[in-house]
Structures are given as C-alpha cells and as structure tokens.
Amino acid sequence: MTNPRAERPVYAIILAAGESRRFGRKNKLFLRYGSETILEASVKHILDSRVDGTVVVVGHQADRVKDILKKYSCPTVINPNYREGMGSSVVVGIDYWLERIGRSPTAGFLFTLSDQPSIPTAVIDKLIDKYRDTGAGIVVPVFNGRRGHPSILNQKYADEIRQAAGRWGAREVILSHPDKILSVPVDEEGVIRDIDTPEDYKNSE
C-alpha cells in the first residue's frame, strides 16, 4: 500500500512580511493572543500539523519576527520586496521550496497567513488529508459558503502563481480554475477571519 504522505507531500508557506498598515502603528503579529503572540499562535498550528515542511516569509521587522520564532526552530526567508504586496511574499515562499525540493507533479504548497491564530491544527490536517486522499489540485476550506484559508495548491500551479504575483497571487490562480477546486466544509469560523484592524483584534479576544 502506498503512503499518501510520501506520494503527495505538502509544504507550508506562512506569510508574515506585511506592515500591518490597516492596524495602525503597531505590528499586529506581536500582540498577545492568549498566552502567546498572534504570530506564534498562527505558526504553531501549522508546525503541529501534518505538513512535510514549513517556512515563514518575513519582511517588515524581520529581525524581531525571526527572534520570536527561534524557539520553534522554524525556518524563515526574507522578502526584500515585501512593500510590493503579499504576492511578492508568495513568490519568495514558492522559490524557497522549489530550490529545496525541486519540481514534483504531486507536491502541494499550503499558503497561510500569520494573522489567523484561531485556525486549529485539526482543520489544517483535514485539508492536508483531503489533498492527499483525493488527488485534488486545489483544496480550500469553506465556512458557511465562504472560502477561507489556508489553501493548498499543487505545485503544477507554481509558475502560474508566480506570474500572477499580484496582491495575492494564489487567490487569482484559484479563481482561474474553478473546476479544479475541492471545497472542504469546516465548522471553524477562523478560516475566514484574520486580524487586520484593532476592531478585529478586540473581537478575537
């Protein structure tokens, strides 16, 4: 019997390079979320999941982000062009993995945000299992009819994502292939909630 994990590995790309412009002067990633920071909570859920590897793309206040993540032995890669938008960080994350694992017809990239600390590991694992078990090219969670994060895209879409490289390159590619999407219903509202503003943060506590 083949091992679906070995046959369809999943590599996480956590986007943590933004400037938190909508939040104001503070970097939201360093705010407390329970007993840790928003950044830590978001990253730990991925590290505890069934992904085959994780990298965090950093940019704004990169040294502080890297310092916080040291205790988790979590690799980071710097996006020198982070001010150009999220799409530039997506490209950096893809290139990081392509340099390390090469091209694979079965590998998938899991794209996730560093300001979504309320997505439990169980939901992430559910998406990974669906990717591995079904052979789907694109897997996205759906809560109450709304698509959320994280999403998993087969590596065959890597070049297309890199070319899109807008504010959110992966999203553009997902919308371009509606017939390839496996929508996975979940009961966790966290997949459609991120923390962009002080009000979002207040409501997350």
Query: What's the half-sphere exposure (Cβ side, CA atoms, 13 Å) at 2?
Result: 8
Question: What pLDDT, on the 0 to 100 scale, is given for residue 168?
Answer: 57
- CATH code, 32: 3.90.550.10
**Which 3 state secondary structure label does DSSP give 187?**
coil
In a domain, 201, yes or no: no
pLDDT digits (tens, 9 = 90+) for 140-180: 999 999 999 999 999 999 999 988 865 556 778 898 899 99
Cα radius of gyration rounded to whole Å, the chain: 16
Distance CA 139, CA 80 (A): 29
**Residues in contact with 115: Cβ distance below 8 Å, sequence separation at least 6, in sequence order:** 28, 29, 38, 42, 194, 195, 196
Domain range spanning residue 188?
4-193
In a domain, 96, yes or no: yes
Number of structural domains (the chain) is 1
In a domain, 205, yes or no: no
In a domain, 124, yes or no: yes
pLDDT digits (tens, 9 = 90+) for 2-33: 566 668 999 999 999 987 666 766 788 999 99
In a domain, 204, yes or no: no
In a domain, 31, yes or no: yes
pLDDT digits (tens, 9 = 90+) for 94-141: 999 999 999 999 999 999 999 999 999 999 999 999 999 999 999 999
In a domain, 203, yes or no: no
